[in-house]
């Protein structure tokens, strides 16, 4: 089945955000499969085994997250071939899904690149042991309260750039999405599924600059409207050794030994 509304409410919310973000980044995604009944799962399992076709699933009912409304499959919908992966399309979209807390089948061995699932409510084995059937699990969904947050638009300024973000205003406190904050502060945001750590990192770029008529490439960070360039690299280009004296906590620039030697020769 392709109906997204058959999925767990939390997964439905995530899909909406995921599709929106993917589209923003230029990826047109189509959801091809959501909930699978016992009959559908076992028919699919037979495919490539006792029935003709390619193997498309590795598990029987009830051990697929599709059987619990906790998984969906996608393909591309940009007219370049539904499963064309020559441009690493599925990897790129997989990373977007992971940033929303989804597990991506492309990280598995064997891979299942079109597949995404939400593991928040336990393994399929746990769901089976606890709820016995999909219907039993689904009953618990009704207890989930629809959060009634107040969403408001606020303007935020960083350096000279003003941007509008939709934030939650709860008891007088403003809650901005970490993703939005990272964008405002010009940081890279990434999520590691293994460590479950979200990182905000400086965006390190490279710049070509001229030093004594010679073009060199240095790493740089753009912050507060200034380019911060790598001290060691610029020092090197100017003929200095750059180091750090930990005891006095000072960075030092020393004229390179090779240059000092040259001076010595000149003064002889
Ligand atoms: Zn799947």
Entry pTM: 0.56
* CA of residue 115 to ligand 1 center, whole Å: 4
Of 262, 227, 255, which Cα lies nearest the Cα of 239? 255
Q: What is the per-residue burial (b if ≥16 Cβ within 10 Å, else e) of 108-143?
A: eeeebbbbbbbeebeebeebbeebeebeebeeeeee
* CA of residue 117 to ligand 1 center, whole Å: 8
* CA of residue 105 to ligand 1 center, whole Å: 8
Report the CATH architecture of 4-141. Answer: 2-Layer Sandwich (3.30)
* CA of residue 79 to ligand 1 center, whole Å: 22
Q: What is the 3-state secondary structure (H, E, C) of 79-92?
A: CCCCCCCCCCHHHH
Q: Are 149 and 121 in contact (CB under 8 A)?
A: no
3 state SS of 104: strand
* CA of residue 141 to ligand 1 center, whole Å: 21
What CA–CA distance (Å, rounded) separates 114 from 62? 20
Residue with tokens 């941007």: 163
Residues of the chain whose pLDDT is less than 50?
Answer: none
* CA of residue 72 to ligand 1 center, whole Å: 5
pLDDT on residue 212: 85
* CA of residue 130 to ligand 1 center, whole Å: 22
The domain locations on the chain are: 4-141, 150-202, 204-267
Question: Helix H segments across the chain?
Answer: 9-24, 38-46, 89-99, 124-131, 134-141, 178-184, 231-238, 257-267
Instruction: State the virtual CA torsion across 134, 136, 137, 142 in degrees, nearest 10.
Output: 120
* CA of residue 146 to ligand 1 center, whole Å: 27
Q: Are 80 and 30 in contact (CB under 8 A)?
A: no
* CA of residue 172 to ligand 1 center, whole Å: 42
Residue/partner pairs of 163-171 with CB below 8 Å, 24 or more apart: none
* CA of residue 12 to ligand 1 center, whole Å: 15
pLDDT on residue 41: 95
* CA of residue 84 to ligand 1 center, whole Å: 17
Residue-wise pLDDT for 95-111, tens only, equals 999 998 899 999 999 99
* CA of residue 147 to ligand 1 center, whole Å: 28
- Residue count (the chain): 268
* CA of residue 95 to ligand 1 center, whole Å: 16
């Amino acid at each position: 089945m392709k109906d997204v509304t058959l999925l767990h409410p939390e997964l439905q919310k995530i899909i909406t955000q995921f599709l929106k973000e993917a589209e923003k980044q230029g990826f047109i995604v189509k959801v091809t499969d959501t909930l699978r009944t016992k009959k559908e799962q076992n028919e699919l399992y037979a495919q490539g085994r006792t029935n003709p076709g390619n193997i498309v699933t590795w598990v029987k009912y009830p051990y697929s997250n599709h059987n619990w409304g906790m998984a969906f499959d996608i393909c591309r919908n940009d007219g370049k071939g539904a499963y064309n992966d020559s441009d690493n399309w599925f990897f790129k979209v997989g990373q977007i899904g992971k940033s929303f807390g989804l597990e991506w089948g492309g990280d598995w061995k064997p891979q299942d690149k079109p597949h995404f699932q939400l593991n928040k409510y336990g393994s399929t084995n746990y769901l089976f042991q606890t709820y016995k059937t999909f219907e039993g699990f689904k009953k618990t969904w009704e207890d989930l309260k629809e959060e009634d947050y107040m969403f408001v638009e606020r303007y935020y300024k960083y350096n000279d750039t003003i941007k509008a973000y939709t934030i939650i205003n709860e008891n007088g406190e403003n809650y901005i999405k970490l993703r939005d904050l990272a964008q405002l502060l010009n940081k890279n945001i990434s999520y590691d599924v293994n460590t479950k750590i979200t990182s905000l990192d400086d965006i390190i770029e490279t710049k070509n600059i001229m030093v004594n008529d010679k073009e060199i490439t240095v790493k740089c960070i753009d912050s507060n409207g200034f380019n911060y360039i790598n001290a060691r690299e610029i020092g090197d280009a100017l003929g200095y050794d750059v180091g750090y004296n930990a005891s006095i906590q000072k960075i030092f620039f020393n004229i390179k030994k090779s240059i000092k030697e040259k001076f010595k020769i000149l003064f002889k």
